[in-house]
Structure formats: C-alpha cells, structure tokens
A and B are shown apart, each in its own frame.
Chain A
Amino acid sequence: MVSWSFNTKHDNDYKWALVIDLDRCNGCGACTVSCQAENNVAVVGEELALQKRVMSWLRIERYFEGEWPNIRTVFLPMMCQQCENAPCEPVCPVFATYHNPEGLNAMIYNRCIGTRFCGNNCPYSVRKFNWFDYGFESPLNEQLNPDVSVRDAGVMEKCSFCMQRIRRGKDRAKDEGRKVQDGDIMPACGQTCPTNAITFGNMHDPESEVAKLIETKRRHRLLEEHGTHPSVYYLKGGA
C-alpha cells in the first residue's frame, strides 16, 4: 500500500519523504531552532512577531482537547508538506515554485517577484514572506550557513527538506559510485530531534525506514481530503 506518487514518476530513483512520529514528539522545539540555524532563517523581533510575521520554516502546533482536569494535548510539527499536487505551484506567475523530479516543491529565490499568491494558496500556511531585509547583525553573520542563500526582502521562502543536505548526500554517493543509502541524508530538524521522532528517506526504496513506516496503520497525512498529496507522513500518537 505504498502511497500513490502523484507527480513523481514511479521508476524515479528518489522520492523524498519525511515521517514524523507524533507518539514520540514531546514538543521540545529543538527542531525549530535547528532549522533556523541551518537555513539562515531570520529573527524578526518582537514587533513583527506580534504581527504574526515570524519567519520560522518549522513550527510546532499545539492542540488542546478537553477541559481541566481531563485535558489532552497533541504536538504537531508543521513544515512544508512538499505536496505532490501542490496548490502553491500553479499560481506562481513566474514559475518560481515548481515540482522537482524527486518529489520536492522547489522554491527559487531569484525568480520570485513577491506576488505572494503561493503563500495565499497554501492550506498549511507554511510559506513565509520576507517583508523586510532582516539582516544579521555582525558578528552573528559569521554563523550563516554557506550552503544556503540569505534571502532579501521580497521573496518567499519555506522548508526545503534541507535541500543542501540532499545535494551533498547525492554528491557523496556519486563520488562513491552508488545510490544514496538509507540514513545518508537527514535534515536539520531530524538530526537534532532528541526523541528521534523524525525520519527521512527515499520512499521509492522499499528497504528504507520511511517506506516501512509509511505502510503502518498509524500513518496519516494532513488535509488529505484536499487532494494535496503531501510527502510528509504523520504517525498518529496515542495508545
């Protein structure tokens, strides 16, 4: 019962998928800071945070159910779902966002002219717009990751499944004359997760951990009824 790859060809070598085990996620938020460090995500400050303009690519949504004392909580790490049938792709007038052959929704900063239609269309609200040049005060700019662009005002940005790490993983595999093996590549969020709630890998490799996890009964995707076909699978929590 492998999920139907809507856009990505079935015989393609790689189709990246992320599996998040909600039974393991304890909401600590390490992944959000790790993503910020890895991807040169700007800090917006208090005033803009009040206007809900925080730039973080990954957020942990926290839902309550019930009333004291019978209260339950769910933590839901939310990042770009890399939808196979992405609502953000057809609406870009300049094709700055498109679906790449490995199943990812690519965001190209050079092309973006800032219409923000894509962000408007995203049902998961994961796209962030650079309203200003936020800047990195010296010497904080020494920490910037050289593999990732620093975005200036006027472009959209979002989670890329740490594309720079995928590229490096493939680069290394190519040097060694082999395909990428399971476990070679891990995005920043998954690498830092203390509980190992996040698993990343190639869905088209039947031996990979993600392929096995996707087949379990607990698997779930968000807003599936909208037909977006996300590449992020959640494993439901709870007994």
Chain B
Amino acid sequence: MRSSLKDIGTLMPKSAIGRNLALLILIVGGVLTYKVTYFYQGPIMGLSTYTPKQPIPFSHKQHAGDLKINCQYCHTYARRSEMAGVPSISTCNNCHANLAVESDAITFLKKNIEAKTPIEWERVFKLPDHVFFNHKRHIKKEFECQKCHGPIETMEVVGKVNEFKMGFCLDCHQQEQAPTDCWTCHT
C-alpha cells in the first residue's frame, strides 16, 4: 500500500491548467459522491424521491384522495401526541372486515389480524438525531398535513418529498411567530 500511495504522484497531470481541471473534477466529484451517499434519500438534482416498497401496497391516493378519508382517522395520535403514528391493524379492520377481502393485500392483512401481529411499515419521514417534533401543537394550529408531508393524497406509494432541513422549519416558525428557542425542538 505504501508504494501505491507514493505512486499517486505520478497520476497528476503535468500542465497547470490540467492540474486545476483535475482539482476541480476531484472537488465536484467529491461533493457529489458525498451528497449522493449521505443524502441518498432526498431528491437531488432530479434523482428519484425515496419511495420504499411497503409490506402492503397501501395507496394513499385511493384512500385519502379518492375516498377523501381524513388523515386523522387513521393517524389518530397526531391530535393528542408528539407523534402522528401509523394505524394499527384494528383501524384497517374497521372497513376491511368485509371490504375487498379477496385481494392479496387484504388477505395478508387478515392473516396479521388473526395473529394480532402489527404490520412493519418502512419508515419514510425521519428527522435527524436530537430533533423532537410535536404533532399535536401543529395540528392544534390547524396546519394541513400536506404542508410538510407534501401532496400525500396524490401518491400511490408514499415518497419522501421533504427533507425537513432546519431552514424549512424555521421559515414557517418565523412567519407564524412560533417559538424559535432551540430547546423547543432540540432536547
């Protein structure tokens, strides 16, 4: 390995322009690599949004869009808790006890209901470390869920359309005159 490192010197271009160009390519390439590998979940320069495959192909477009079911009917904890939560299988069973029972998806669901095991969904929206978000306070202010989560009711498969960078949160907080004390969100 040691000899290889020394040999890197022989790779450098001879001319000054060549050297600057090589440096530029290295820097840009490095930044791109870093961004793609570290932020691979986000939409970067037209690359696709992170839309993981879920155990059941649940379509928000069908339920929230066409059927116009309220977000909080399923995501019940949003109005009373920090987390919005994901519905338990008993919520699905409210309708699907008798609806569309022949489909593969519902058969799989029924199996889990029998066994009382929850469905393990792939997480889409995730905040960075040390950040705590309180859904209840935002619901009480009657913000639309779409404000942060994007047009969910148009999504067949939920995709992460928002990276939740701090700037996004702060813009709204400053506009709405919400607390901007760091400890409000970072405990």
Q: Is the interface of A mostly helix, strand, loop or mixed?
A: loop
Contact flags A72-104 to B (C-beta < 8 A → 1, else 0): 000000000000000000000000001011001
User: How big is the B interface, by class?
Assistant: 10 to 19
- Given contacts A100-B181, A149-B129, A160 and B186 within 8 Å (CB-CB): no
- Evaluate contact between A101 and B181: CB separation under 8 angstroms: yes
Within 8 A of B (CB), among A143-159: 147-149
- Evaluate contact between A109 and B136: CB separation under 8 angstroms: no
- Evaluate contact between B182 and A98: CB separation under 8 angstroms: yes
A85 nearest CB across to chain B (Å): 19
For A104, what are the chain B residues with a Cβ–Cβ distance below 8 Å? 183
A174 to B130, CA, bound (A): 24
Within 8 A of B (CB), among A89-138: 98, 100-101, 104, 106, 108-111
A110 to B165, CA, bound (A): 13
- Number of A interface residues, CB 8 Å? 19
For A98, what are the chain B residues with a Cβ–Cβ distance below 8 Å? 182
Contact flags B126-140 to A (C-beta < 8 A → 1, else 0): 001111101011001
For A111, what are the chain B residues with a Cβ–Cβ distance below 8 Å? 182
B133 nearest CB across to chain A (Å): 12
- The reply on B3 being an interface residue by CB < 8 A is no
Partner of A167, one of B128, B131, B140, B187: B187
- Given contacts A100-B181, A149-B129, A110 and B134 within 8 Å (CB-CB): no
Binding site for A on B (CB under 8 A): 128-132, 134, 136-137, 140, 181-184, 186-187
Closest 10 CB pairs of A and B: A106-B183, A149-B130, A109-B130, A110-B130, A108-B186, A108-B182, A100-B181, A164-B187, A163-B187, A100-B183
